[in-house]
Structure 1
């Protein structure tokens, strides 16, 4: 027996989740924010503008020298 929704494409596209800052947990309000994006161990992490600014030196310190 098959599910009544099997093969039904309607509603299969997930709504994009509102990003939350990986450091302080604040959620974005409105359109996609101009936050920093980091990929750590294959996981995409977003950082709000405030946390990005407060931790800029630490962020730059992890970049390869060719990026700065």
Structure 2
């Protein structure tokens, strides 16, 4: 089992999950967002709403090795 940094098993307190916000347009998520895209860039997770992900799909795929497509 794994936990978030600073969780109760590390001697800290469990933190509330942060609201999901699109890294490109700033749109807040309302409930679960299975169509959003997650990108890890320089060790940081960035989430993109479905509209921004669709608008930038070519750029997103362009960063993948050809084995992924």
TM-score (normalizing by structure 2): 0.78
Aligned to 1:30: 31
Runs of 4+ in 1 over 4 A off after TM superposition: none
Structure with a larger share of its residues in helix: 2
Larger RCO (CA under 8 A, 6+ residues apart): 1
Unmatched runs of 5 consecutive residues or more in structure 2: 1-7
TM-score (normalizing by structure 1): 0.79
- How far residue 50 of structure 1 moved from its aligned partner, in angstroms, is 0.3
Unmatched runs of 5 consecutive residues or more in structure 1: 1-8
